[in-house]
Structure 1
Amino acid sequence: MISFFRKIRQKLLQQNRVTRYLVYALGEIVLVTIGILIALQINTWNEQRKDSNREKLILQNLHSEFIGNKEKILATIELHEAILGTTKGLMKLFKQPDSILNTYNLDSLLERSISFRDISTSQSAIEDLISSGNLNLISSENLRKLIFEWNGEIVEKDESFETLDETAQTLLLPYLMKNTSLKNIDRFGFLDWEEESKFESQINKIFQDLEFENQLDSHAWGIANYLNALYVLHEISDKIISETVSNIKSE
């Protein structure tokens, strides 16, 4: 093609047709420019198509991950709402006479109250997205904001659980170790002891003690604080699921 244009150009010059040559040369420049623009447009279109495919895969991974996270969050919320309910029930037993306290299995209720555990959410899709620098491939500004909000609330959730766990480990459990039998409590937990402690636990007495009431009240606060963090994560996970579905459909 280049040799063809060169021959035409030489022929026009030999015939001393300068005007026609200039017109031809200009036309040649225009054709070359159009060709370059078309090539650039095709290349841009190919890159956009690749980015769109990558975005769709990212959205699908996020969607799957947060479907799983939502299920875990709901199960953890259900568990800790039950734990908080048990703890609040125990709070109603203070200063009650033995005739009332003996109608309850206090060891079982205490075991239930201290059986809290942290949730382990899946972060692989978000971590891969951020570490790879592909966050800009997500066209939805709202979804990008939700991802950053999720990461921030995960930190808040971790801090809430650490507060709950530290309070229980440093205050509540030492109190129970000193004033009642942990073996009797653990009979209803993972250890599942077959027989009670041979020591007298005098568990009823701790429900006449202001210190234990304060300990249990602090424990209830920690559970409620942790639940609040879980509620926020549940709300964000719902929004991320909705946003990913909406963006996948628009692809």
Structure 2
Amino acid sequence: MARFFRKFRLNSLSKSKIGKYVVYAIGEIVLVVIGILIAVGINNSRERSILEAKEQTYLKGLKEEFETSKRKLIQLMEVNERNYEGAKTILNYTNNPNENLSEKEFSELLSRSFSFDVYFNANNSLLNEMINSGSLKDISNDKLRKLLTNWEAILKDISKQEGELGEQRARVLDMFRTNANSIKTIFQLSTTSPETEFLQKENYVSNLNLLASLEFENNIMMFYLVSYSTSEAHYKPLLKELNSILDLINNEIQ
């Protein structure tokens, strides 16, 4: 009987030790799991901080680029408007014997309308770098990311329109590359620039005959229409798109 109770006590002690070991082991496992979760959380937090800092750097760079592009576009729109307003004025004098225009006035109108070509050169170096490196995904705002993705396609459409405008401008200027008319006269009588100030104001060839030319009128008309369309159907919507992008960028910058 004594041996039985002794054996019972030993078994109870053994079971008690096993129970304590199991509890200890479970506690160790729980602590390890908690440690892993904390480490993962810290790592994820660190990665998020790195990504957020990277995004902020991109956003600030994009803001600078698009603000520069906006300034360029506004200046270009002013040039284009001056061009088509000048062309519209010339149209009022074509095939209209009741309107008198001096050679100097005609030269100044031509100079103001056709001296400057129109081409929008957007600042896209950072955006192109982001697209090529796949970093556009780091922009967390879905709407902004979509607008940035579509930006290149919009610029291609603008470039196509500007190409058509350049062709119409060239057709007008080609009429001064003949023996009938003189581009030199335009430089002689319009506002002088450093490279043309040596030209004398006298002894010029008149270009007023162009006002009676139907070909000239047609070319001026086409230039005016394409230039006006470039402003209304392309540049103004582009400016609106630029403002939308800048608004989203400013909202995301912390």
The normalised TM-score by structure 1 is 0.84
Moved more, 36-45 or 62-71: 62-71
1:54-81, Cα deviation, whole Å (9 max, x unpaired): 1111111111111211111111111111
1:225 aligns with 2:229: yes
C-alpha contact 1:172 1:216 (8 A) present in aligned 2: yes
- Structure 1 residue 125 displacement after superposition: 2.0
What do you get for the CA RMSD once the two structures are aligned?
A: 2.3
Q: Which amino acid aligns with 1:93?
A: Y
Take 1:205 and 1:27, find their aligned partners in 2: how far apart are those partners?
102
Q: Could you tell which deviates more after superposition, 46-55 or 213-222?
A: 213-222
1:221 Cα offset (Å):
2.1
Choose 192-201 or 61-70, whichever is displaced more. Answer: 192-201
Task: Look up the match of 1:243.
Answer: 248
In 1, Cα distance between the equivalents of 2:92 and 2:204?
27
Residue range with higher mean Cα deviation, 171-180 or 47-56: 171-180
In the TM superposition, residue 25 of structure 1 has moved relative to its aligned partner by: 1.7
Matches within 5 A, 1:1-251: 17-97=17-97, 100-102=100-102, 105-115=105-115, 116-169=117-170, 171-178=171-178, 179-187=180-188, 188=190, 191-192=195-196, 194-195=199-200, 198=203, 200-201=205-206, 203-227=207-231, 228-248=233-253, 251=254
Distance 1:59 1:235 in 2: 19
Q: 1:26-64 CA deviation, whole Å, 9 max, x = no partner? A: 221121111111101100000000111111111111111
Cα distance change, pair 99–124 in 1 and its aligned pair in 2 (3 A):
closer
Bigger radius of gyration: 2
Instruction: Give 1:175 shift.
Output: 2.0
Q: Which structure 2 residue ranges, 5 or more long, are not aligned? A: 1-13
Post-superposition Cα deviations, 1:95-126, rounded to whole Å, max 9, x if no partner, equal: 12286123761122112211233232211121
> Partner residue of 1:11?
none
DSSP 3-state at the match of 1:76: helix
Between the two proteins, the alignment pairs up a number of residues equal to 234
Return closer, same or farther for 1:101/1:33 CA change in 2, 3 Å cut-off. Answer: same
Note if contact 1:153-1:229 (Cα within 8 Å) is conserved in structure 2. no
